[in-house]
Structure 1
Amino acid sequence: MQPVFLTCALVGNFSTRAQNENLPITPQELATQALEAAKAGAAIVHVHVRDPATGMPSMEVALYREVVDRIRQENDDLIINLTTGNGGRFDPSPDNPVVPGPRTNLLPPDARVEHILALKPDIATLDLNTMVFGGEVVINTLPSIRRMAELIQSVGVRPEIELFDSGDISILNQLMSENAFDHTPLCSIVTGVKHGFVPLPETLIYARNLLPKPAIWTGFGTGAQAFPMVAQSALLGGNVRIGMEDAVWLGKGEKAPSNAAMVLKASRLLEDLGFPLMSPAQARAAIGL
Structure 2
Amino acid sequence: MAKVIISCAITGSAHTPTMSDALPVTPEEIAEQSIAAAEAGAAILHLHARVPENGMPTGDPDVYARFLPSIRERTDAVINLTTGGSAIMPAKERLAAAAQFKPEMCSLNMGSINFAFFGAARRITHWKHNWEQAYVVNSDDYVFRNTFRDIQYILETMADAGTKFEHECYDVGHLYNLAHFVDRALVKPPFFIQLIFGILGGIGAHLDNLMFMQQTAVRLFGKDSFRWSVLAAGKHQMPFLTQAALMGGHVRVGLEDSLFIEPRTLAVSNAQQVEKACRILAEMGHQPATPTEARAMLGLKGGERVSF
Tell me, yes or no, if structure 1 residue 42 matches structure 2 residue 38. Answer: no
Q: Give the partner amino acid of 1:46.
A: H
Identity %: 31
Asked if the contact 1:249/1:255 (under 8 Å) is kept, the reply is yes
Q: Identify the match of residue 170 of structure 1 among 167, 176, 180.
A: 176
Bigger mean CA deviation after superposition, 182-191 or 167-176:
182-191
Asked if the contact 2:43/2:291 (under 8 Å) is kept, the reply is yes
Asked if the contact 1:113/1:152 (under 8 Å) is kept, the reply is no
Q: Identify the match of residue 163 of structure 2 among 157, 162, 166.
A: 157
Residue of structure 1 equivalent to 2:11: 11
Q: Give the partner amino acid of 2:212.
A: Y
C-alpha deviation, 1:14, in angstroms: 1.5
Residue of structure 2 equivalent to 1:138: 144
Tell me, yes or no, if structure 1 residue 273 matches structure 2 residue 281. Answer: no
Please give the TM-score of this superposition, normalised by the length of structure 2: 0.85
Hey, what's the Cα distance between the residues in 2 that align with 1:119 and 1:131? Answer: 27
Hey, what's the Cα distance between the residues in 2 that align with 1:40 and 1:149? Answer: 32
Spell out, residue by residue over 1:14-44, the C-alpha distance to the aligned partner (whole angstroms, 9 max, x if none).
Answer: 1122221111001110010010001111001
Aligned residues: 271
Tell me, yes or no, if structure 1 residue 118 matches structure 2 residue 117. Answer: no
Pairing of 1:67-106 with structure 2 (within 5 A): 67-75=67-75, 77-86=76-85, 89=87, 104-105=88-89
Say which SS state the counterpart of residue 288 (structure 2) adopts: coil
Hey, what's the Cα distance between the residues in 2 that align with 1:269 and 1:156? Answer: 34
Say which SS state the counterpart of residue 190 (structure 1) adopts: strand
- Alpha-carbon distance change, 50 to 199 in structure 1, aligned in 2, over 3 angstroms: same
C-alpha deviation, 1:273, in angstroms: 1.6
C-alpha deviation, 1:158, in angstroms: 0.7
Say which SS state the counterpart of residue 79 (structure 2) adopts: strand
Hey, what's the Cα distance between the residues in 2 that align with 1:272 and 1:25? Answer: 33
Structure 1: 5+ residue runs without aligned partners?
A: 90-103
Hey, what's the Cα distance between the residues in 1 that align with 2:278 and 2:209? Answer: 23
Hey, what's the Cα distance between the residues in 1 that align with 2:238 and 2:160? Answer: 35
Q: Give the partner amino acid of 1:133.
A: F
Hey, what's the Cα distance between the residues in 1 that align with 2:23 and 2:92? Answer: 30
C-alpha deviation, 1:111, in angstroms: 4.0
Tell me, yes or no, if structure 1 residue 128 matches structure 2 residue 127. Answer: no
Hey, what's the Cα distance between the residues in 2 that align with 1:32 and 1:54? Answer: 18
Hey, what's the Cα distance between the residues in 2 that align with 1:278 and 1:208? Answer: 21
Asked if the contact 2:189/2:226 (under 8 Å) is kept, the reply is no
Hey, what's the Cα distance between the residues in 1 that align with 2:95 and 2:204? Answer: 29
Hey, what's the Cα distance between the residues in 2 that align with 1:110 and 1:196? Answer: 24
Hey, what's the Cα distance between the residues in 2 that align with 1:268 and 1:2? Answer: 14
Please give the TM-score of this superposition, normalised by the length of structure 1: 0.90
Q: Give the partner amino acid of 2:267.
A: A
Spell out, residue by residue over 1:202-260, the C-alpha distance to the aligned partner (whole angstroms, 9 max, x if none).
Answer: 11111111112221111111100011111011111210000100111111232111100
After superposition, the CA RMSD in angstroms is 1.3
Hey, what's the Cα distance between the residues in 1 that align with 2:248 and 2:155? Answer: 26
C-alpha deviation, 1:86, in angstroms: 2.3
Say which SS state the counterpart of residue 113 (structure 1) adopts: helix
Residue of structure 2 equivalent to 1:99: none
Structure 2: 5+ residue runs without aligned partners?
A: 117-139, 301-308
C-alpha deviation, 1:73, in angstroms: 2.1
C-alpha deviation, 1:133, in angstroms: 1.2
User: Once superposed, which parts of structure 1, at least 4 consecutive aligned residues long, lie more than 4 Å away?
Assistant: none
Q: Give the partner amino acid of 1:114.
A: A
